[in-house]
Amino acid sequence: MLKILFFGQLKEVLKTEFLDIEFVYSGEQINSVAKLRSILQAKGDVWDEYLAYGKALVAVNQEMTNDDAVIGDADEIAFFPPVTGG
């Protein structure tokens, strides 16, 4: 099971704070950020728009990374807009 989290504006527009997805989805392992992103974007509408590459940053197990990153079962993957602290 992958644990997916959303923060900031993403959490609001997707009306979703977190969701769990089976690691094996439609007979295929979701073993990269790119695969996960495309599965989530396929939900359409705001999911497609706001999770687009370059618009939503990603962290795997609390480390900022990119779409090439490999993911494994039980990983925590977070999507969020560019950060604005300080």
Partner 1 sequence: MAHFTHISVQTQDFDFAHEYQKLRDSNSSDGALVTFVGLVRDLNLQQAVSGLFLEHYPAMTEKVLNNIVEKARTKWQLGSVSIIHRVGQLQVSEQIVFVGVTSQHRQSAYHGNEFIMDYLKTQAPFWKKETTNQGDKWIAAKASDMEKSKGW
Binding site for partner 1 (CB under 8 A): 5, 7-9, 12, 59, 62-64, 76, 78, 80-86
Least distance between partner 1 and beta carbon 51 (Å): 16
Q: Is 77 exposed, middle or buried (0-12, 13-18, 19+ CB in 10 A)?
A: buried
Nearest Cα to 36, choosing from 24, 46, 49?
24
Write phi, then psi, for 41 (nearest 5 degrees).
-65, -30
Least distance between partner 1 and beta carbon 7 (Å): 5
Least distance between partner 1 and beta carbon 25 (Å): 24
- Residue 53 or 80 having the CB closest to partner 1: 80
